[in-house]
């Protein structure tokens, strides 16, 4: 097929070739290794002269299908699927950096990404500097002669701050740096960082890509020459995704567009509703006109995403009471599920940061993150309404 097709069609119609059984939906290849035709083919496969499956730590038809689909959806050349989002973040950096290198990162990165930069990389003399999403003018002066990579999350978790990807792509180009964007919150349906010049696009597929709270997985997508290095690192260190999870995710992608449309329209309704509620201190959502970067959100995102953050008047004590009063919405650390989930980042996902570090990335003590699910909106609002009432001190 050579015709350019649209997102939903690629997500559904890009699949591995049929086997002799002419199955409509792609089967699961639960095998750890593959059989060689003869000694010559085995030699050529190991010498990388021909492509084909050898061993599932290197590749497997289910993983290949998932990656080819993700590359179509993100507009990237190549990629690799990993056993978790963190494996993707880790290998996307560790495979391309060496002792003495420096990373410029947005201050608000996922908690475990923070731990990699703060606690693990210094062991191997890889250093970093954080820059604030809210202050783009400070970024260029933080680039050092040994800076190799810029790593960012936009929108950030959980404060939902953004950075202009087009501007960042140009900055990376000017200084010959690798731009690595964690696109987990937006998913390929809402935002394609490669279009703005990102060389690597990393994902936790655990979130909206699966969308049903079933698997832990990740992906590193990007330029062919960089993915070659990432693949070498992964092949020999082994953070491979299981074929079963790859198969689940390839099915999940078939419905990503319809799910994201609904997550986003539900999230916008919730954000608008919270904004009118006088028990609420503030609400943040990229597609609310009150978001300080609303214009930028509209430029680089198709819709505002499935996460809303807010703070109830009454601070942390009332926030906790609110969480304990929810009847339907799950109190859990995940996001991007069909089920709505409420999280208190300051005491859970971001508890390893100091209060100062949290303040610097917009995580106030009472901030509550809602990953808005696909339940009926009336039921979501009713639960939040009753929990707000019950939390009155």
Ligand X SMILES: *Cc1c(COP(=O)(O)O)cnc(C)c1O
Listed ranges 9-17, 144-152, 179-187, 340-348: which one lies at the site for ligand X (CB under 6 A): 179-187
Of 290 and 351, CB closest to ligand X? 351
Give me the least distance between CB of 159 and ligand X, in Å please: 12
Between CA 188 and CA 254 the distance in angstroms is: 12
Site for ligand X (CB under 6 A): which residue of 59, 63, 71, 85? 85
Of 156 and 391, CB closest to ligand X? 156
Give me the least distance between CB of 206 and ligand X, in Å please: 4
Query: Which residue of this chain has its Cβ atom nearest to ligand X in the complex?
Result: 85
CA-only gyration radius of the chain, Å: 22
What single string gives the DSSP state of each residue in 281-333?
Answer: EEEE-TTSTTSTTHHHHHHH-SS--SEEEEEETTHHHHHHHHHHH-SSSEE-S
Give me the least distance between CB of 259 and ligand X, in Å please: 16
Give me the least distance between CB of 234 and ligand X, in Å please: 15
101 binds ligand X (CB under 6 A): no
Between CA 166 and CA 90 the distance in angstroms is: 24
Between CA 358 and CA 337 the distance in angstroms is: 25
Of 157 and 300, CB closest to ligand X? 157
Binding mask 182-221 toward ligand X (x if CB under 6 A, else -) reads: x-xx------------------x-xx--------x-x---
Closest by CA to 226, choosing from 78, 354, 387, is 78
Q: φ and ψ at 96, to 5 degrees?
A: -115, -5
Of 101 and 182, CB closest to ligand X? 182
Closest by CA to 328, choosing from 377, 380, 372, is 380
**H-only helix segments in the chain:** 7-13, 39-46, 61-74, 85-94, 111-115, 165-174, 187-190, 224-237, 243-254, 256-275, 294-300, 315-325, 355-360, 377-390
Listed ranges 43-51, 78-86, 257-265, 290-298: which one lies at the site for ligand X (CB under 6 A): 78-86
Length of the chain: 393
Give me the least distance between CB of 110 and ligand X, in Å please: 4
Give me the least distance between CB of 152 and ligand X, in Å please: 11
Q: Is 66 helix (H, G, I), strand (E, B) or coil?
A: helix
Strands 127-131 and 102-106: parallel
Binding mask 351-390 toward ligand X (x if CB under 6 A, else -) reads: ----------------------------------------
Site for ligand X (CB under 6 A): which residue of 71, 73, 86, 380? 86
Listed ranges 29-37, 79-87, 140-148, 375-383: which one lies at the site for ligand X (CB under 6 A): 79-87
Residues numbered 307 to 346 that lie near ligand X (CB under 6 A) are none
Q: How many residues bind ligand X (CB under 6 A)?
A: 15
Of 153 and 337, CB closest to ligand X? 153
Of 29 and 90, CB closest to ligand X? 90
Site for ligand X (CB under 6 A): which residue of 153, 210, 337, 383? 153
End-to-end CA distance of the chain: 62
Q: Name residues whose C-beta falls within 8 Å of residue 311's C-beta, 6 or more positions apart in sequence.
A: 280, 281, 282, 319, 364, 366, 367, 368
- Sheet containing strand 127-131, strands side by side: 78-82, 218-222, 200-204, 178-182, 147-153, 102-106, 127-131
Is 67 in contact with 81 (CB distance < 8 Å)? Answer: yes
Give me the least distance between CB of 82 and ligand X, in Å please: 9
Of 133 and 216, CB closest to ligand X? 216
Site for ligand X (CB under 6 A): which residue of 14, 60, 157, 192? 157
Q: Name residues whose C-beta falls within 8 Å of residue 32's C-beta, 6 or more positions apart in sequence.
A: 55, 56
Give me the least distance between CB of 341 and ligand X, in Å please: 12
Binding site for ligand X (CB under 6 A): 84-86, 89, 110, 153, 157, 182, 184-185, 204, 206-207, 216, 218
């Amino acid at each position: 097929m050579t015709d350019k097709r649209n997102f939903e069609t690629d997500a559904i119609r890009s699949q591995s070739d049929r086997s002799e059984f002419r199955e409509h939906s792609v089967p699961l290849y639960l095998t750890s290794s593959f059989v060689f035709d003869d000694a010559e083919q085995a030699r050529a496969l190991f010498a990388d002269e021909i492509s084909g499956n050898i061993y599932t730590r290197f590749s497997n038809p289910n993983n290949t299908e998932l990656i080819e689909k993700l590359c179509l959806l993100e507009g990237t050349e190549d990629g690799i699927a990993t056993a978790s989002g963190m494996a993707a973040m880790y290998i996307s950096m560790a495979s391309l950096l060496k002792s003495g290198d420096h990373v410029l990162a947005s201050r608000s990165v996922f908690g475990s990404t923070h731990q990699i930069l703060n606690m693990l990389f210094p062991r191997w003399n890889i250093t970093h500097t954080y820059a604030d999403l809210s202050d783009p003018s400070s970024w260029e002066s933080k680039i050092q002669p040994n800076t190799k990579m810029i790593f960012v999350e936009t929108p950030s978790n959980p404060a939902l701050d953004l950075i202009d990807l087009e501007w960042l792509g140009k900055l990376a180009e000017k200084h010959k740096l690798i731009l690595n964007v964690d696109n987990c919150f937006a998913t390929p349906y809402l935002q394609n960082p490669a279009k703005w010049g990102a060389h690597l696009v990393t994902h936790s597929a655990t979130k909206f890509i699966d969308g049903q709270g079933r698997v832990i997985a990740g992906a590193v997508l990007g330029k062919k020459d960089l993915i070659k290095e990432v693949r070498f690192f992964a092949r020999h260190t082994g953070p491979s995704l299981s074929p079963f999870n790859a198969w689940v995710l390839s099915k999940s992608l078939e419905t990503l567009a319809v799910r994201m449309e609904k997550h986003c329209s539900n999230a916008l309704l919730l954000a608008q509703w919270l904004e009118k509620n006088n028990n609420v201190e503030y609400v943040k959502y990229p597609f609310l006109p009150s978001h300080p970067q609303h214009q930028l959100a509209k430029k680089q995102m198709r819709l505002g995403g499935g996460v809303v953050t807010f703070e109830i008047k009454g601070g942390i004590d009332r926030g906790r009471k609110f969480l304990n009063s929810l009847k339907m919405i799950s109190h859990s650390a995940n996001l991007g599920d069909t089920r709505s989930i409420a999280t208190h980042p300051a005491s859970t996902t971001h508890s390893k940061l100091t209060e100062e570090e949290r303040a610097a990335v917009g995580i106030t003590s009472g901030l509550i993150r809602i990953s808005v699910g696909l339940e009926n909106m009336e039921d979501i609002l009713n639960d939040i309404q009753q929990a707000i009432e019950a939390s009155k001190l």
